[in-house]
Amino acid sequence: MERTGHERRANPILWTGPPFTNTLVAINMDGLVSFIAFTFIWVWATVGLFDGVRTIAKGESTRRTIWNVAGLTIVFVAFGSAYLYFYSLEKKLLDGFDGPYIQLPATWGGNMKPEEREKASLSYVSAAYLGTGKLFVHFDRTGQLKTFSPSQEQMKERESAVAVKTQLQEQANSFFGIGMRWFASGLLAAMLGWAAGRRKKAATNPTVERDARKDGARPSP
């Protein structure tokens, strides 16, 4: 069965024709490689930022340490911002489904020929039905307004559009979640690294107050 334009735009690789199994295997392998690479980068950046901030908190930082922390901070900000940007693109696609569709006023297309007016208004309400599922009115050749009645093919296309919209919404939510996790994990790694470094420094460098207590406990000569 021929796929609709919405399905092809949402997942162009999936509708490549007969070699369906081979295509799915290729997609799964690409997804696996991407997941492994993504996980490696995330672990490397998280551990590196934690260790760098911990070293700075201990007072043992070098110029290299500071540059490493700055670079890893940029990595977290870049990945988080990129995924939020992808999220914004998905939201624009979703907004395009609903569109600024309104009921056609009685004066719409008054300067057109009856055939052109019917065709243009029918195209408009067809697009509105595909994107929103709502039944708008259009003009017939006599100039009368009538409610749009979708064909079986148009109803199937509407079902496909709903499936594509659901997929886009899931992708948008995924992009947003991943972006926020990049920001959160970077912030958490820095906070934990700082706390660990300060605790280590306190353990290896007793305070003056503690020394004073020890001196006060010594017997007088």
Letter for the amino acid at 218?
A: R
Q: Report which of 136, 76, 81, 22 is spatially closest to residue 14, judged by C-alpha positions.
A: 22
- pLDDT > 70: percent of the chain: 77
Give the pLDDT of residue 201: 67
> What is the pLDDT of the chain when averaged over all its residues?
80
At 83, is the secondary structure helix, strand, or coil?
helix
Per-residue pLDDT band at 9 (split at 50, 70, 90)? very low
Per-residue pLDDT band at 14 (split at 50, 70, 90)? very low
CA dist 129 → 34, 73, 136, 151, 194 (Å)? 38, 47, 8, 11, 56
Asked if the model's pLDDT at residue 181 lies above 50, the reply is yes
pLDDT, tens digit, for every residue of 77-130?
Answer: 999 999 999 999 999 888 887 778 888 888 888 888 988 999 999 999 999 998
Give the pLDDT of residue 29: 66
Query: In angstroms, rounded to a whole number, what is the distance separating the alpha carbons of residues 6 and 3?
Result: 8
Per-residue pLDDT band at 19 (split at 50, 70, 90)? very low
pTM: 0.65
Give the pLDDT of residue 76: 95
Q: Which of 16-25, 66-75, 86-95 has the lowest mean pLDDT?
A: 16-25
Burial letters 157-195, b for 16+ CB under 10 A, else e: bbebbeebbeebeebbeebbebbeebbebbeebbeebbe
Per-residue pLDDT band at 24 (split at 50, 70, 90)? very low
Q: According to DSSP H, which parts of the chain are helical?
A: 5-10, 20-57, 63-98, 114-132, 152-204, 208-216
Q: Which of 66-80, 143-157, 180-194 has the lowest mean pLDDT?
A: 143-157
| Contacts (Cβ under 8 Å, ≥6 apart) of 56 | 65, 66, 69, 194, 197
